[in-house]
Amino acid sequence: MKHIIHYTLRADGPEGEIIEATVPEEPFAFTADAEEVLEELETAVAAAGLGDRFELLIPCDDAYGPEMEGAFAVLPKAQFADDEGVDESIMAEGEVVVMHDEDGEEVHGVVVHVGDTEVEVDFNHPLAGVDLHFTVQVMGRE
């Protein structure tokens, strides 16, 4: 079954900064039991009736976890080199970089500091440490 919802996601509560939002004309759809959304959100949507509106707060520990100090890495700039050399433009603070872990899996990080020879990258999930507040309306089911 596919659930179709309109939602606003805010950081840390109903008055928090908007992280993302749909518009009713372009709702978000997800398939039940496909692990496309957080389990708590899926459960709440499934329990709601068509047209229902509700609010849901998911604490960070049940969402993307706390921010972990061990997820920060200081890497040599040379690690960002390709055949053409080091691309300084991808090392600007706030830029997302894609790297590979020991198993060859892609991991995304955000550049938090650029030094003369090193780059500090935060590999925490972007929403780690954030309580998630959803305002949801169930728009449909297919």
Q: Summarize pLDDT for 67-103 with one digit per residue, the tens.
A: 998 899 999 988 877 777 777 777 789 888 888 888 9
- Whole-model pTM: value is 0.80
What is the average pLDDT value for the chain, to the nearest integer? Answer: 92
Only one residue has tokens 């329990």, namely 47
Angle at 10 between CA 99 and CA 67, to 5 degrees: 40
Which amino acid, residue 133? H
Q: What is the pLDDT of residue 129?
A: 95
Calpha distance 83→86 (Å, rounded): 9
pLDDT tens-digit series, residues 13-58: 999 999 999 998 899 999 999 999 999 999 999 999 999 999 999 9
Classify residue 77 as exposed, middle or buried by CB count within 10 Å of its CB (0-12, 13-18, 19+): middle
pLDDT band, residue 11 (cuts 50/70/90): very high
Only one residue has tokens 């780690």, namely 128
Output the six-digit token pair for 135: 């305002």
Domains recognised in the chain with CATH numbers: 2-65+128-141 (3.10.50.40), 69-122 (2.40.10.330)
